[in-house]
Amino acid sequence: MTHHVVIVGAGFGGLAAAQELAGTDVKITIIDQRNHHLFQPLLYQVGTAVLATSEIAWPIRHLVRKRKEITTLLGEVTGVDTLNRRVLLDDGGVVAYDSLVLATGARHAYFGHDEWEPHAPGLKTLEDATAIRRRILLSFERAERETDPDARAALLTFVIVGGGPTGVELAGAIAELAHQNLPEDYRRIDTRKARVVLIEAGPRILPSFAPDLSAYAHASLQRQGVEIQLGRAVRACSADGVIYGDRPLAAKVILWAAGVRASSAAAWVGLPADAAGRAKVEPDLTAAGHPEIFVIGDTATISAWHGNPVPGIAPAAKQQGMHVARTIAKRLRGDAAARNFRYKHAGSLATIGKRAAVIDFGAVKVRGWLAWWLWGLAHIYFLIGLRNRLAVALSWLWIYFTGNRSACLITQGERLTGQ
Ligand SMILES: Cc1cc2nc3c(=O)[nH]c(=O)nc-3n(C[C@H](O)[C@H](O)[C@H](O)COP(=O)(O)OP(=O)(O)OC[C@H]3O[C@@H](n4cnc5c(N)ncnc54)[C@H](O)[C@@H]3O)c2cc1C
């Protein structure tokens, strides 16, 4: 019987595992709760009306159409029967496996305050991005009709919680939208007066970058008109705004970019987890006591980066996916030796706005317009397919030269009231 590899999650890790298994004598089943693979690094650009959804997502089925040994199933996994080696689906379905790769990622988390989510949505899925875009654009629309100055000011105040790469990218993109792209479109409001406030509880933004790059990003965001509040944690989020430290701030759009929570993979296979719910895996990425189960990417934690935890970024998930695929292939060739995973860090990137980005390669650090062009080229390179590369490059060049964002569409309900 052909060895059956079940991969749960067709994100960066799961897809890399499937790709690396090409040519190995296995049959593969990919299960994902969504029908598309998503390029999350550019999600914020869908949320801020730069790109359309179809430019950063691809049907999984289509991506693996030439690999006849791969079956793709749309379904939500709710558990794993480790004794009988079966994956359990929410509709009662089961899928048997010989090897199992759990690559189910993470979602944003609210530090125990899930009640904040309706007021401060996070960014993880295409639906999140279009909902955020809708919120931002609706707020400008409402402000255009609002006559009360305080209410109008709240509608034109955009708060981003969390100063990591996603928060920084969102803040820069919203400031650019409000201060550069939209002013001509409105008659009663001056969108240049919109406030974009980035709140970070720690002492600096981009804490995973070198301090001088953080400082550069800070100054660069401020030049774009972003207000940065450091050292005060958000204590409350409501429909009327936030309280950070002891300060209230009236704002109708609050976006959450502050914390993540791993999928339930650790619980499915009975593994210990860290504070963010990430499964603690063995050095070879297997689940303790279950060499046939691998847990990878954002849903796992492992100190395999010179003794430090591997970061929750796409290249790490990809490297882990490739590693487990090679382990499975070697086992099938009779080599059962455990192969410890070692993470190789190529660099950290974040864009701050038009012509400004930071790249931390470790020994080499790049900032400014050169980093911005490198960031753009790297992202275009990692997109899948020529059509999307051309479409994204064209959208960026169009905005760069004309300032017009073509994706300023309010969808999913057109009402001016409610969210
Ligand atoms: C807004 C944002 C910006 C980011 N920017 C960058 C960046 O610039 N650079 C970078 O390197 N990284 C970035 N990241 C992080 C990067 O996207 C993740 O580290 C990477 O996606 C992790 O890959 P993964 O395979 O572990 O999980 P994911 O890519 O998240 O894939 C998980 C998959 O599992 C599926 N799934 C989840 N639960 C289930 C279930 N129960 N049943 C079935 N399927 C399930 C999901 O639908 C999804 O397709 C960003 C992340 C976000 C959210």
194 C-alpha vs ligand 1 centroid, how far in Å? 31
Atom number in ligand 1 closest to CA 44: 1
Query: Which residue CA neighbors atom 4 of ligand 1 most closely?
Result: 41
Strand intervals (E) in 9-163: 26-32, 36-38, 57-59, 70-74, 77-81, 86-89, 94-96, 99-102, 106-108, 157-161
pLDDT at 79: 98
pLDDT above 90: percentage of residues in the chain: 85
59 C-alpha vs ligand 1 centroid, how far in Å? 15
Is a pLDDT exceeding 80 seen at residue 166? yes
Q: How confident is the model at residue 413 (pLDDT cuts 50, 70, 90)?
A: low
DSSP class of residue 383 equals: S
Report how far residue 354's alpha carbon sits from residue 181's, in angstroms, rounded to the nearest whole number.
12
Structure tokens of 274? 């860290």
Helix (H/G/I), strand (E/B), else coil: 190: coil
Average pLDDT over every residue of 291-317: 96
Catalytic residue among 20, 55, 146, 169: 169
Counting every residue, how long is the chain? 419
Q: How confident is the model at residue 12 (pLDDT cuts 50, 70, 90)?
A: very high
Is a pLDDT exceeding 70 seen at residue 74? yes
Structure tokens of 377? 């080229």
pLDDT at 417: 54
Task: Tell me, rounded to whole angstroms, the distance of Cα 277 from its chain centroid.
Answer: 17
Structure tokens of 281? 């895996």
Query: Which residue CA neighbors atom 29 of ligand 1 most closely?
Result: 11
Q: 232-236, 317-321, 385-389, 410-414: which range is least confident on average? A: 410-414
pLDDT at 259: 87
Question: Which residues does ligand 1 sit against, CB inside 6 Å?
Answer: 8-14, 31-34, 40-41, 43-44, 76-77, 103-105, 123-124, 165-166, 263, 297-299, 312-315, 317
Q: What are phi and psi of 21, to 5 degrees?
A: -80, 0
Atom number in ligand 1 closest to CA 298: 26
Query: Which residue CA neighbors atom 26 of ligand 1 most closely?
Result: 297
Is a pLDDT exceeding 80 seen at residue 282? yes
Q: How confident is the model at residue 401 (pLDDT cuts 50, 70, 90)?
A: confident
Atom number in ligand 1 closest to CA 125: 53
Tell me the sheet residues that pair with 36: 59
Cα–Cα–Cα angle for 262, 265, 269, nearest 5°?
Answer: 150
Is a pLDDT exceeding 90 seen at residue 391? no
Rounded to 10 degrees, what is the CA torsion of 284, 285, 288, 292? Answer: -90
pLDDT at 275: 94
* Best mutation site among 46, 53, 104, 107 for ligand 1 pocket (most ligand atoms within 8 Å of CB): 104
Report how far residue 357's alpha carbon sits from residue 213's, in angstroms, rounded to the nearest whole number.
9
270 C-alpha vs ligand 1 centroid, how far in Å? 22
Is a pLDDT exceeding 80 seen at residue 267? yes
Q: How confident is the model at residue 264 (pLDDT cuts 50, 70, 90)?
A: very high
Do residues 120 and 272 lie in contact, with contact meaning Cβ atoms separated by under 8 Å? no
Atom number in ligand 1 closest to CA 123: 1
- Cβ neighbours of residue 148 closer than 8 Å, sequence gap 6 or more: none
Atom number in ligand 1 closest to CA 257: 1
Do residues 358 and 366 lie in contact, with contact meaning Cβ atoms separated by under 8 Å? yes
Report how far residue 77's alpha carbon sits from residue 113's, in angstroms, rounded to the nearest whole number.
25
String of b and e for 162-182 (b: at least 16 CB within 10 Å)?
Answer: bbbbbbbbbbbbbbbbbbbbb
pLDDT at 354: 77
- Cβ neighbours of residue 351 closer than 8 Å, sequence gap 6 or more: 169, 172, 357, 372, 375, 376
Atom number in ligand 1 closest to CA 379: 8
What's the whole-number average pLDDT of the chain?
Answer: 94
pLDDT, one tens digit per residue, over 107-145 is 999 999 999 999 999 999 999 999 999 999 999 999 999
pLDDT, one tens digit per residue, over 201-238 is 999 999 999 999 999 999 999 999 999 999 999 999 99
The Cα-based distances of 76 to 16, 18, 104, 123, 128 in angstroms read 20, 19, 10, 20, 18
- Cβ neighbours of residue 164 closer than 8 Å, sequence gap 6 or more: 205, 206, 207, 208, 257, 258
> Quick one: which of 74, 13, 58, 75 has its CA closest to 387?
58
289 C-alpha vs ligand 1 centroid, how far in Å? 26
> Quick one: which of 30, 39, 6, 78 has its CA closest to 314?
39
Identify residue 311 by its one-letter amino acid code: P
126 C-alpha vs ligand 1 centroid, how far in Å? 12
Report how far residue 413's alpha carbon sits from residue 417's, in angstroms, rounded to the nearest whole number.
10
45 C-alpha vs ligand 1 centroid, how far in Å? 16
Average pLDDT over every residue of 303-328: 96
Query: Which residue CA neighbors atom 19 of ligand 1 most closely?
Result: 313
pLDDT at 402: 83
11 C-alpha vs ligand 1 centroid, how far in Å? 6
Query: Which residue CA neighbors atom 15 of ligand 1 most closely?
Result: 313
pLDDT at 419: 52
Average pLDDT over every residue of 135-162: 97
pLDDT above 70: percentage of residues in the chain: 98
pLDDT at 388: 83
Is a pLDDT exceeding 60 seen at residue 104? yes
Query: Which residue CA neighbors atom 35 of ligand 1 most closely?
Result: 9
pLDDT at 187: 97
Do residues 216 and 178 lie in contact, with contact meaning Cβ atoms separated by under 8 Å? no
Do residues 68 and 61 lie in contact, with contact meaning Cβ atoms separated by under 8 Å? no
Do residues 231 and 201 lie in contact, with contact meaning Cβ atoms separated by under 8 Å? yes
Instruction: Please name the helix (run of DSSP H) or strand (run of DSSP E) that holds residue 296, with its range, or none.
Output: none
297 C-alpha vs ligand 1 centroid, how far in Å? 8
pLDDT at 415: 61
Query: Which residue CA neighbors atom 27 of ligand 1 most closely?
Result: 105
**Does the annotation mark 169 as catalytic?**
yes
Query: Which residue CA neighbors atom 23 of ligand 1 most closely?
Result: 12
Helix (H/G/I), strand (E/B), else coil: 268: helix
Average pLDDT over every residue of 314-323: 97
Structure tokens of 275? 């504070």
